[in-house]
Structure 1
Amino acid sequence: MNRLEAFGTIAAQAARGEISFPTSVNAVLRLQHALNDPDCHLEDAIRLVLGEPQLAARTVALANSSTFNTSGRPVTNVRSAVTRVGYRNLQTLVASLVVRQFGARIEDPDLRAKAEQLWEHTVQVAALAHVFARHVTFVNPDTAMFAGIVHEVGGFYLLSRADGFPGLLDDDPEKWAELCEDVVTREVARKLALPEPVAEAIFELRGAWLHMPPASLLDTLLLANMYASVPSPLGTARAPLPEHSESALDYLLDEETLHRMIEEASEIAASMGGALLV
C-alpha cells in the first residue's frame, strides 16, 4: 500500500466513524464520562483520581503551581488539590491522559520521537492558552487550557496509526497528512465528546488569522501556538516570531509583561508535563 492509499484508508475509516482507541484510552474515557456527570459527587471524583496515579500526581502538581496556589500554602493530598483546581481543570488533566495513551502503543523510534515532541508542544500550548486567556483574550481560562490539551488530538491518533504504515509521515510536500489529520480530528473530537466551542476552535485553527485585538478561543489558541517554543512536528513550519516592538501585540502588552506571562505558562506546563511515553 503506497502512502496516498494509506492516508486514504485512515481518512475513510475516520469518516465512517471507525476510530479504534487503545484499551488504555477507553479506560480513561470511562473516567472522563464519570467526571462529566453533573451528579458526580466530590467524594466520587476523589476516588476516581486516586485510581489513576498519574492523574493524582498531576492534579497535586497543578494545584501547587503559582497560578492556583495564590496563598502560598502547598497542598499535599488529592482532596485539597481537586478542590483547588476545580472540575474543569481536572477534566483537562484527564484529557491529557487520553492524549498520553495514544502514544503508548507506538513502537517505531522516529514516530515515538514525534509523539514526544507533539506532547511537549501540546503542554506548552495548553499552559500558554490559560495565561493568554486570563490576561489578553479574557475567554474562560479553564476552557482555553482544555482546548490547548486537545488541539492536537487528531495528530496523536494519526501518529498511533502511522506505526502500521512505515514511512507514512516522512517528507510530505503534498500535505496529505494535514488533509488526513483534519478528517481524523473531527471524528476523534466526536468520539471524545468535545464541547462544541472547543471543537470548532480546533477545526478552524489551521490557516486561521489572529484578530486584533484577540478576543476569541481561536485567537487564544493561535497566540499560544505562536509563543510555544516547541513546534508541532506535524504542522507546517512556523514563521519566526517578530521582535516584540515590531508586533501588533505591542499595543496590548509590554515586553516585561509578556515575559512574565511566558514564565507563568512555563510553570503550569511543568506541573502538567513529564514524558509522554511512560
Structure 2
Amino acid sequence: MNRLEAFGYIAAQAARGDMTFPTSVNAALRLQLALDDPNCHIEDAIKLVLAEPQLAARTVALANSAAFNRNGDAPITNARAAVMRVGYRSLQTLVASLVVRQFGTRIVDPAIRAKAERLWEHTAHVAALSQVIAKRVTFVNPDTAVFAAIMHEVGGFYLLSRADEFPGLLDEDPEKWSELCEDVVSREVLAKLSVPEPVRGAIEALRDAWLSMPPCTLLDTLILANQFSPVPSPLAAPVLDMPAHEDSVLDFVLDGDTLESILKESADEVKSMSTALLV
C-alpha cells in the first residue's frame, strides 16, 4: 500500500467512525462523558477518577501544582480532595490531555515518537498561550480556550498513532498531511471524543481562518496562540501566518509590551502546570 492509499484508507475508516483508540483512552472517555453531564454528581466523578490510577495521580499532581496551590498550602494526598480543588472544568482539561497523550503510547518507531513529543510540546505552549490570550485579549472562557488548545491537534496525534502501520505515511508533504488531518481525520476524531460543537467548530475552522479585528472569539484565541507559539507544529503546513496588513492591524491590539508580557505569562503557565497537565 503506497502513501496515498494509506491516507485514503485511514480517511475512509475515520469517515465511517471506525477508529481504534488505546484502551486507556476509553477509560478517560467514560469520565469525559460523565463530566459533560450537567447532572454528574461529584461522587460519581471521584469514583471514575479513582478507577484510572494514572488519572488519579495526575489529578493530585495538578491540585498541588502552582496553578492551583499558589498560597503554598499543605499538599493534597488523595484524589477526592484533588477533584474538589481543581473543579470539573480543569478536570475535563486534564482528561483531554491524557486522551491526547495516550495516542502516543503505542508508537514504536523512534522517529515517529519524537514527532509526537514535538507535537505535544507545541500543544502545551498553545494551551498556555490560549489561557493567557483568553484572559487578556479575546475574553472568552479561559477553561474552554485551554480545552480547545489541548484538542486542536488531536487528528495529528491519531495519525501518528497509526503511522507504524503504514511505512512512508509521514514522508514530507505538509500540505497533504494538513488537508487530511483537518478535513477528515480531525473532524471524525473530535466527534468520536464527543468534543462540544463550539470547540469542534473552532478547531475545524483553524486551518483556513482569518483573524477577527478585534480578536474576540475562541477561534481568534487559537489563531493567536498558534501564531505566537515558540514551538510550531511539526505536522502542519505554515498556514497560520498572517498577511502583513493583518500583522500591522494586530499591532493596535497587541503592542510590543503587551505581547512580551503575554509570552512571559504563558511560559510561566507552562512551567506551573508541567508536573501534571502538560507532561
TM > 0.5 fold call: yes
Amino acid at match of 2:107: I
In the alignment, which residue of structure 2 is the partner of 1:33?
33
Deviations 1:192-222 (A, max 9, x none): 1110000000000002121221000000000
Other-structure match for 1:115: 116
Partner of 1:126: 127
Match of 1:219 in 2: 220
Please tell me the root mean square deviation across aligned C-alpha atoms, in Å.
Answer: 2.7
Provide the identity percentage.
66
Shift of 1:162: 1.2
| Aligned residues of 2:93 and 2:150 also touching (Cα < 8 A) | yes
SS of residue paired to 2:103: helix
The Cα offsets for residues 23-74 of structure 1, whole Å up to 9 and x where unpaired, read as 2211221222233333332233234334444434443444455554455546
Where 1:163 maps in the other structure, the secondary structure is: helix
* Alignment coverage as a number of residue pairs: 273
SS in 2 for 1:193: coil
Q: How does 1:42-57 map to 2 (within 5 A)?
A: 42-57=42-57
Query: Given the two structures, how large is their TM-score scaled by the length of structure 1?
Result: 0.87
Describe the SS at the equivalent of 2:113.
Answer: helix
Higher mean Cα deviation, 28-37 or 212-221? 28-37
> 2-side partners of 1:56 and 1:261: how far apart?
31
The one-character-per-residue Cα deviations of 1:206-247 (angstroms, maximum 9, x if unpaired) are 0212122100000000011111111111011377899xxx75
Q: Which moved more, 1:127-136 or 1:21-30?
A: 21-30
CA–CA distance in 2 between the matches of 1:71 and 1:272? 15
Deviation per CA, 1:4-41: give whole Å up to 9, x if none: 11111111111111111122211221222233333332
Q: Following TM superposition, by how much is the alpha carbon of 1:271 offset from its aligned partner in structure 2, in angstroms?
A: 4.3
After superposition, the Cα gap between the structure-2 partners of 1:235 and 1:274, relative to the gap in structure 1 and judged at 3 Å, is: farther
Q: Which residue of 2 aligns with 1:204?
A: 205
What residue number does 1:158 align with? 159
1:1-278 equivalent positions in 2, closer than 5 A: 1-64=1-64, 67-69=67-69, 71=71, 73=73, 75-77=75-77, 78-172=79-173, 175-182=175-182, 183-237=184-238, 247-273=248-274
Q: CA deviation at 1:75?
A: 4.7
Q: Aligned partners of 1:58, 1:49: CA distance in 2, in Å?
A: 10
SS across alignment from 2:165? coil
Distance 1:275 1:94, change over 3 A: closer
- Structure 1 residue 130: Cα displacement: 1.0
Where does the alignment leave 5 or more consecutive residues of structure 2 unmatched? none
Alpha-carbon distance, 1:268 to partner:
2.8
Give the C-alpha shift of residue 272 in structure 1.
4.2
Give the aligned residue type for 1:136: V
Q: What amino acid is aligned across from residue 198 of structure 1 in structure 2? A: V
User: Aligned to 2:251, what secondary structure does the other structure show?
Assistant: helix
